[in-house]
Structure 1
């Protein structure tokens, strides 16, 4: 197809649609013309994509159709109903659909952490190569517990939230590459295993778990969910299944965006627990109980609300109405 000739032949129709889109009010005749022009331009976009996929022209026509669609349907306004729909349908459906990737990532990290801690406990010389005796004493007797009370609770909650959100965001953003996610997760659990083994060797294991578990259960689960979704994003182009690689990657990328938004709320909750519950004067059993409760609520959210959302046809992807126009064309 001669792209220049095609543009020259149909440019007046594109201009006319843009003109109608910009008008504040349309007469009955103009409204009919608007619908007709919209259908024509959608067909032109499909033809260009199929026969002469020029990126600039595709972007221009897609933008024109998007503005026209918003003009026809009215501007979408975010409402509390939309927020509720996200947390009742889209986010839990994404978690439930990707549950095996998330659970597999969680199980693998827990196993590796346990193995690393046991190995480090059996090799005390490694501890000596990482920290001096003075640094170990500082960590065991002051730094570890002091970490949770060195800032005002509100400030600490914000700091923790931003840090964990950043780690989770990296897992999702770098998921398409696969290996960087593994590196990020390993660094995360390596720090946990090293500190845990040092605290245990110096008879502070109970203190360690008493401070880690209240917030760590939900916090680490959120990070592992991000890692699992990131690895699924990588696998979407390695093994796209019935879809093309681009379609599979696009779908999982949009779903990863859904999970990223939802995890902001999950990590906010874990940050509040870490700031207000972990350093509190509550008994250890009460603090750990709060952590277990938060973790149980999250899993119930995934497997009860998420399963119901999937049964209603939700996938975690964005609404079909928000996707680009796809119009069948005739030869």
Structure 2
């Protein structure tokens, strides 16, 4: 094939395609022409590659087709726009939709913790679950406070551990059993430690070292468990959606929650690493924890309510999530 002659014959079509790609607005006829020329040029590129693979012409046509494809299919928004939308819309919407589950989990977990703590501190032999008296005394006098060693390494360790707990609730949420087990175990352990400290007259130390970071940290763990249970419930009771669609939508929103909670746990890790074990006054440390938890819920309620009112769910945007079959009801 005479490549020069082939290019000379079809050059007007390529130039026309290039001109259409550059235009900001297209009429209906021009849009149809754009699609037709894109298909024709794709055929030309295939012909050149198979009969006279000239690298310069192949590169030119490939670049032209790439721009044409972008114009026809549309380009994705810049990454910074996606990040802004995630933080201001998708994440608060996902957290807001799971708020009732979260509050129910928080209430149930606190009840379990209180019952466990009261049982340990008031039941004869209850403290034996912790260990011998020597172990109990050492934990109260030294180990509990020394655990909160200020520093970056400690903050990273705490964040990794808590993120792993939240990740388990997310990854295994569809089972229903694992999030419930994690939440129950976490609540019992918290109650047992509180009951032990109370029995030795150190309940004030317990709250002074738990509340600064624990208000946000435990909230994040509770929300992760709640989101996992909500996914399980979508499998059990999908509502008007098909079961596959319900699980897919709630699953994608669940991972939105997981990413957001990783950020919340990072903040609580910083507080635990630099505030909880610091020499600040106890009331100031607790105030930091209250402000952090209040900021989290303000973010969820204010931005989340607005996003949900606009139809957001925390799921991917429609062009990324894919189309779904309409259902009746």
Q: TM-score, normalised by structure 1?
A: 0.76
| Map of 1:294 onto structure 2 | 292
Give how far 1:173 is off: 1.0
Are residues 1:113 and 2:125 paired? no
Mark the structure with the bigger radius of gyration: 2
CA deviation string 1:196-251 (max 9, x = no partner): 11111001110011000000000000000001100000000100000010000001
| Map of 2:280 onto structure 1 | 282
CA deviation string 1:244-269 (max 9, x = no partner): 10000001000101000111111111
Structure-1 separation of matches of 2:161 and 2:140:
23
Structure-1 separation of matches of 2:172 and 2:105:
16
| Map of 2:73 onto structure 1 | 72
Unaligned runs of 5+ residues in structure 1 are 1-25, 37-67
Structure-2 separation of matches of 1:141 and 1:178:
39
Structure-1 separation of matches of 2:191 and 2:253:
31
Structure-1 separation of matches of 2:118 and 2:267:
31
| Map of 1:171 onto structure 2 | 169
Alpha carbons of structure 1 residues 177 and 100: separation in structure 2 relative to 1, 3 Å: same
Structure-1 separation of matches of 2:135 and 2:100:
40
Alpha carbons of structure 1 residues 33 and 235: separation in structure 2 relative to 1, 3 Å: farther
Q: TM-score, normalised by structure 2?
A: 0.77
| Map of 1:242 onto structure 2 | 240
Give how far 1:97 is off: 1.3
Aligned partner (choices 28, 32, 38) of residue 36 of structure 2 = 32
Unaligned runs of 5+ residues in structure 2 are 1-16, 21-32, 41-68
Aligned partner (choices 175, 179, 196) of residue 194 of structure 2 = 196
Give how far 1:327 is off: 8.5
Contact 2:90 2:315 in 1 (8 A): yes
Structure-1 separation of matches of 2:97 and 2:76:
31
Q: Aligned-residue CA RMSD in angstroms?
A: 2.3
| Map of 1:130 onto structure 2 | 130
Structure-2 separation of matches of 1:70 and 1:224:
45
Structure-1 separation of matches of 2:256 and 2:76:
21
Contact 2:113 2:192 in 1 (8 A): no
Q: Secondary structure at the match of 1:277?
A: helix
Structure-2 separation of matches of 1:71 and 1:300:
42
Structure-2 separation of matches of 1:326 and 1:298:
33
Give how far 1:123 is off: 1.3
Give how far 1:35 is off: 8.0
Alpha carbons of structure 1 residues 251 and 134: separation in structure 2 relative to 1, 3 Å: same
Contact 2:113 2:189 in 1 (8 A): no
- Where relative contact order (Cα < 8 A, 6+ residues apart) is larger, the structure is 1
Are residues 1:260 and 2:258 paired? yes
| Map of 1:9 onto structure 2 | none
Alignment of 1:93-108 (within 5 A): 93-108=93-108
Give how far 1:76 is off: 5.4
